[in-house]
Amino acid sequence: MKSSLYSTRGGSGRHWLSLLRSPWIGTGARIALAGVWCWAGWAMFLHPETSVYAVRAYRALPEGLVHAVGYGLPVLELALAVLLATGLMTRFAAALSALLLVAFLVAIIQAWARGMSIDCGCFGGGGAVDPGQTQYAREIIRDLAFLSLSVLLIRRPRTRLSVDAVLP
């Protein structure tokens, strides 16, 4: 006899595993990530000089790249938001999302390790803050959570209500 999604047979481990395989979980992950990238990208797109300032605050890139990254990042984030919201090229968008999140994690961790006092600038703002105002641990945990959503979509890109679902 096949166990249903809500069956208690097979232990709770199988129950949770089958829930993670649900296309609706992937749809939720896809829409959540789209919302995050839209929020972050739009905030920086409206104020690109703030984005450049936030990138510069990390002191991790040569000055020649700061403007390109500062102006390009909001556009990339908005493009990811569109791809994920529509469910077009989901695996590609999730992989790019994961790479971007890993880059953000590296940037935050190196700033923390170097004793810098900056706001991540992830959703606008950014730059130097008082040492007591840094929130590195929270930012790392947040980005790890978003990274887990990206990994889920890399592994299972077919979701409900997506363009990918209707393409061959």
Sole residue written with tokens 């590609």 = 92
Q: What is the pLDDT of residue 18?
A: 72
Q: Which residues in the chain show pLDDT less than 50? A: 1-8
Q: What is the pLDDT of residue 12?
A: 60
Q: Specify which residues 119 forms β-bridges with.
A: 127
Q: pTM (2 decimals)?
A: 0.86
**74 and 48 Cβ atoms separated by less than 8 Å:** yes
Q: What is the pLDDT of residue 13?
A: 63
Q: What is the pLDDT of residue 125?
A: 85
DSSP classification of residue 131: G
Q: What is the pLDDT of residue 124?
A: 85
